A and B are shown apart, each in its own frame.
Chain A
Amino acid sequence: MNIIKKFSLGVLITLFLSFSANADKIKIGTEGAYPPWNSKDASGKLIGFEVELAWTLCRYIGKQCEIVEQDWDGMIPALIMRKFDAIMAGMSITAERQKAISFSQGYADEVASLAVMKGSSLEGMETPAGINLTKPNAAAKKALKTLTAGLAGKTVCVQTATIHQNFLDSGDVGKVNVRTYKTQDEVNLDLASGRCDAALAAAVAFSDYAEKSGKPVVLVGPTFSGGAFGNGVGVGIRKDDTELLNAFNKAIDKARKNGDISRIATKWFGFDASM
């Protein structure tokens, strides 16, 4: 009886009372549903570019780390509520987010792109290969006009609370029917099923999906960067946590100098997405 009592007490303690005894541990929140940035394998383990990079950065900082899973739509609130101390979840550095949290320097950059299913009427829009929206030049403005005409009345799908949603909401491409999803996986599913006329996300997210699913997903229009699309992807940190911010900035410097970021990025993206 005594053993049973002790055992159940132990189970109770581990289940209920995980007070943060280990204040030295850095907790990093990630989504686990945005390949190749971060995802999960069939054994339930978190994998991806940012997961591997996180372990590397922690080694440079010299502290123990724990990677925590968090749904994307609650990522920033959860950081603010101290569920974890840092975000590494393919989160672009934008002015809007910087009102709520701080960002480290960028460690990787992604361009966004529209994707459609093969045979869509949106294929073959004549636009430059890429446009930067920070200071749009004449060609970029023309491309936005082409997109506005092409997307009019169409349903464009994006993951919720992303730069991609912000861009569509900004009205730069006119009034499109924006549909928001909890994860990029769901966006991909509905693009393939035909519920979405087009989808907007990181170009790599679509190429990753096309490769793994074998579905005829094609990128159309220009790639987007700057403006609503932010300035690269960085580590999100609470505003009052300057110590951790400095630590991450230094660790990113070191990892960049030693070629770690390039190496890991090439491994997961197939090209060097580091910055």
Chain B
Amino acid sequence: MDFELMINSFPKLLNATLVTLKLLSASLIFGLIIGLCFAILRINKNPILNKFAYGYSYVFRGTPLLVQIFIIYFGLGQIDYLRSTVLWVILKEPYWCAIIAFSLNTGAYTSEILRSAFQTIKPGIIEAGQSLGISSKIIFYKIQIPIAIRQSLPAYGNEIILMMKGTSLASTVTLMDLTGVAKYIISTTFKPIEVFIVAGGIYLFITFIIHNVIKFLEKKYSFN
């Protein structure tokens, strides 16, 4: 064990953690929006919209994230037509390709989490709102959504941690995130174990924080 290397690589890795956190937060925000849209489609009674939303979540949950990110980065980059459109401004950048892949992936899981949360809301609650004369729009935004969010907190917390780990795949499309920088350090020092242990420790620390924040929120918003 080369402890000196571990200590020396720590600041560089900590710096790269910022990139990881940026990727994570951007993906989570976009993923939540995508997930909410698709969850609403899933509980919609229109069979076409319903099937479409189900297909999306099935494909993105049934394939590895690595394949998804490769299709979006290397695959789409090969379509000549795409390169002549405005889309290329975004797809040209590895950073945005990674965020698109992560958002679509976490969006699929989030839509499932929110859907089951919506479906577990007792009809009585909605009926109570209706009998009080509250419009269905307000019932949806002020009653259904807040309850769904509370219901889905534990599962969504797990999803955040899974996504955080997933961001390590950004390094496969040239991004210098925590894993990317770890690999870079290894490419000049040839000592993978030491560097990966330090990087792993940082990831673990982030997981620990996310885990506790979610627990705190669960307690704060619990019904009891």
Say if the two chains contact directly (CB < 8 Å): yes
A77-B192, A181-B174 known; A193+B78 contact, CB < 8 A? yes
Q: B92 in the interface, Cβ–Cβ < 8 Å? A: yes
Chain A nearest CB, measured from B202 CB (Å): 20
Specify which chain B residues have a CB less than 8 angstroms from the CB of A73 in the assembled complex: 183, 186-187
Inter-subunit contact B83/A179 (CB<8 Å):
no
Specify which chain B residues have a CB less than 8 angstroms from the CB of A194 in the assembled complex: 83, 92
Within 8 A of B (CB), among A42-74: 73-74
Inter-subunit contact A80/B172 (CB<8 Å):
no
Q: B74 in the interface, Cβ–Cβ < 8 Å? A: yes
A76-B190, A77-B192, A193-B78 known; A160+B184 contact, CB < 8 A? yes
Closest-by-CB residue of B relative to A78 is B192
Specify which chain A residues have a CB less than 8 angstroms from the CB of B94 in the assembled complex: 179, 195
* Interface size counted on chain B using CB atoms at 8 A: 16
Within 8 A of A (CB), among B145-200: 172, 174, 183-184, 186-188, 190-192
Within 8 A of B (CB), among A107-128: none
Q: B77 in the interface, Cβ–Cβ < 8 Å? A: yes
Closest-by-CB residue of B relative to A161 is B187
Question: What's the count of A-B pairs with C-beta under 8 Å?
Answer: 38
Most buried by A among B78, B94, B183: B183
Please measure, in the bound complex, the distance between the C-alpha atom of A179 and the C-alpha atom of B77, giving whole angstroms.
16
Specify which chain B residues have a CB less than 8 angstroms from the CB of A96 in the assembled complex: 188
The stretch among A20-28, A182-190, A252-260 that forms the contact with chain B is: A182-190
Chain B nearest CB, measured from A187 CB (Å): 10
Chain B nearest CB, measured from A29 CB (Å): 14
Q: A223 in the interface, Cβ–Cβ < 8 Å? A: no
Instruction: Give the B-binding residues of A (Cβ under 8 A).
Output: 73-74, 76-77, 80, 96, 100, 157, 160-161, 165, 179-182, 186, 189-190, 193-195
Contact sample, A vs B, 20 pairs, CB 8 Å cutoff? A73-B187, A76-B190, A77-B186, A77-B190, A80-B190, A96-B188, A160-B183, A160-B184, A161-B187, A161-B188, A180-B174, A181-B174, A182-B172, A186-B74, A189-B77, A189-B78, A190-B77, A193-B78, A194-B92, A195-B92
